[in-house]
Amino acid sequence: MPLTDHIRNKLSQLPHKPGVYLHKDRLGTVIYVGKARDLRKRVTTYFHPSRRQGWDLKFNALVEAIHDLDWHVVKSEAESLLLEGKLIKEFRPRFNIDFRDDKRFLLLKVNLQDPIPRFTLTRLRQDDGCVYFGPFAHSGSVRRALTMMRRKFQLRGCRPLTPGEADYKHCLYGNLKHCTAPCIGNVTRDQYLAQVQAGVEFLQGQTEELRDELKAEMLRAAARQEFELAAQLRNALEDLQRTTQKTEKFERVPYNLPVASNPAADLEALGRVLELPGPPARIEGYDISNISGTFMVASMVSFWQGRPDRANYRRFRMKTVTAQNDFACMAETVRRRYTRLNGDVTATAAAGAGAAVTGPLTARSLRLPDLILIDGGKGQLNAACAELAKLGLQGIPILGLAKEYEEIHRPGQAEPLRLGVDHPAVKLLQRVRDEAHRFANTYNAQLRLKKINESLLDEFPGIGDARKQALLKRFGSVQRLRRATQEEIESVAGFGGTMAAELKRFLEARASGDAAR
């Protein structure tokens, strides 16, 4: 691909700093996200003609598709890795492979309200009163640093929530003197909490003394020609520096997708192509999202005058569809949406004749759309049209946009409309479709994350899926389980007196942590 003046100008502005770069196609869609220790050196390699012979087919296709690029400067290489992962999860570029799943970077957490607190690794940050550290870009380093911290401050690494003498008999940490064994009364809880607080300060970066100690010992080992020991100490020092390095958390991704430069012109072009009475002021777009038939959801996004109208977005979780069926899901979504909206419009009309209407109803929120866009081909479109006909709303213009060739399917037309991806009407429809797709996928991900987080029981040591399901079946929710007595917990299959007592103490500790906040 010849280097355009626009790309050449962007390359000249790239700094020699660490960061993340984003390649975009001619539609403004992010197609690749990468990180770099030196942004200018890394990004310019994509456009070296001398390297073209060594490109594989995928890389060649990526470079041919690049029409624009953006970048974001960060403080360190570790921060660039964290931001790269977040941006890939946000935009799901088609040329990226890594980070496209739901796996997250490791975190360290400790609950100071536990009877005998311990530091554990997790990938989910929850609102549970725990103290969290991270995320960490290098999982191996944080695991080794955690082992180092436990030994230095003599902290426990065993799994029981409240270990006792029976646990100590088989405890490797206690027998090796890596733990002060508060479980058998070697130290008081206050003394052990002081050790835990020292570990907290360690993770907060107060490690100068330990770093100096490791460096001095490494130099002494090298002077004695004990190079294997010196290498181990060097690696430990690197693990310590990586784990306690300050990084920005990027709670909000510092990047926004571009919007249309002239939405009014795009609307006019769309109105002409579809032979509508005028530009469609309000467009509603629909998409379905499910994973192997689980968490079947749908989204409805609203565009007003060519721009997102987020106050009128809606999302749906399927009620009548029990198996994976995108056509049935689309039919249920359209039926539920326009049954309610049609009723609200009728009620508003009645209010104009003297009837009373309650609720914050506005003209924009109640207005029937000027155009409905379905993400899909003829199957999804026909399912939506059938439901609109049942409601007497067949007069609303509706079309389907098929992804593969960006074909526009219209009711009653055998052949799709092919305008080309550079047509302004297609670009507008793509923005609506992509926003509906993003909103549906976000809702699906939220439901899956809620399913993962819905129970504190996952953190209780020794509980499996069968026991957890038995508890939820018996009590219905964690909130009701918290109010249950120990005797009621013992009545659940798989629970004896000891485990019921442990679970009761675990839930009380979590409840006290919530109250402390």
Q: What is the CATH number of the domain that holds 489?
A: 1.10.150.20
Domain membership of residue 444 (yes or no) is no
Residues 414 and 491 in one domain: no
Domain membership of residue 412 (yes or no) is yes
Hey, what are 344's tokens?
A: 């609200």
Q: What is the pTM of this model?
A: 0.50
- Cβ count within 10 A of residue 480: 13
Hey, what are 439's tokens?
A: 């909103």
The domain boundary, picked from 371, 405, 436, lies at 436
The domain boundary, picked from 402, 436, 470, lies at 436
Q: At what angle do helices 208-223 and 227-244 cross, to 10 degrees?
A: 160
For 258, the enclosing helix (H) or strand (E) is: none
- Cβ count within 10 A of residue 130: 21
Domain membership of residue 253 (yes or no) is no
Q: Alpha-carbon distance 427 to 222, whole Å?
A: 64
Give me the pLDDT at residue 65, please. 84
Residues 232 and 276 in one domain: no
Residues 389 and 293 in one domain: yes
3-state helix, strand, coil in the chain (%, to 5): 50, 15, 35
Give me the pLDDT at residue 58, please. 77
Q: Are 306 and 338 in contact (CB under 8 A)?
A: no
Domain membership of residue 100 (yes or no) is no
Residues 215 and 110 in one domain: yes
Q: Alpha-carbon distance 253 to 482, whole Å?
A: 37
DSSP β-bridge partners for residue 291: 294
What CATH number has the domain bearing residue 415? Answer: 3.30.420.340
- Cβ count within 10 A of residue 222: 15
| 8-state DSSP, 416 | P
Q: Which domain holds residue 497?
A: 454-516
Residues 391 and 463 in one domain: no
Domain count, the chain: 4
Q: Give the distance from CA 86 to its chain's centroid.
A: 8
- Cβ count within 10 A of residue 301: 27
Domain membership of residue 258 (yes or no) is no
Give me the pLDDT at residue 200, please. 84
For 241, the enclosing helix (H) or strand (E) is: helix 227-244
Residues 387 and 425 in one domain: yes
The domain boundary, picked from 67, 91, 115, lies at 91
Residues 47 and 121 in one domain: no
Domain membership of residue 65 (yes or no) is yes
Give pLDDT tens digits along the chain (517 positions). Answer: 557 788 888 888 899 999 899 998 876 778 899 999 899 999 988 888 766 666 677 788 888 888 888 888 887 777 787 788 878 877 788 888 766 555 677 888 888 888 888 888 887 777 777 888 877 767 777 788 888 888 878 888 787 777 777 777 777 777 777 788 888 778 888 888 888 888 888 777 766 666 777 778 788 888 888 888 778 778 777 767 666 666 555 544 455 544 555 788 899 999 999 999 999 999 999 999 886 666 789 999 999 999 888 889 999 999 888 888 889 999 999 999 999 887 665 665 555 544 444 444 444 556 789 999 999 889 999 999 999 999 999 899 999 998 777 899 999 888 999 988 778 899 899 889 988 988 888 888 777 766 654 556 777 777 777 787 788 778 777 777 888 888 888 888 888 888 888 888 888 776 655 544 4
Residues 238 and 313 in one domain: no
What CATH number has the domain bearing residue 35? Answer: 3.40.1440.10
Hey, what are 77's tokens?
A: 């290489």
Residues 85 and 227 in one domain: no
User: Own/partner pairs for 401-409, CB < 8 Å, 24+ apart?
Assistant: 401/373, 401/374, 401/375, 401/376, 401/429, 401/430, 401/433, 402/376, 402/377, 403/375, 403/433, 406/430, 407/377, 409/377, 409/378, 409/381
Residues 272 and 375 in one domain: yes
Residues 170 and 67 in one domain: no
Domain membership of residue 257 (yes or no) is no
Domain membership of residue 486 (yes or no) is yes
Residues 68 and 136 in one domain: no
Q: Where would I find the H helices in 92-187?
A: 139-153, 165-168, 172-175
Hey, what are 190's tokens?
A: 């206050």
Give me the pLDDT at residue 464, please. 76
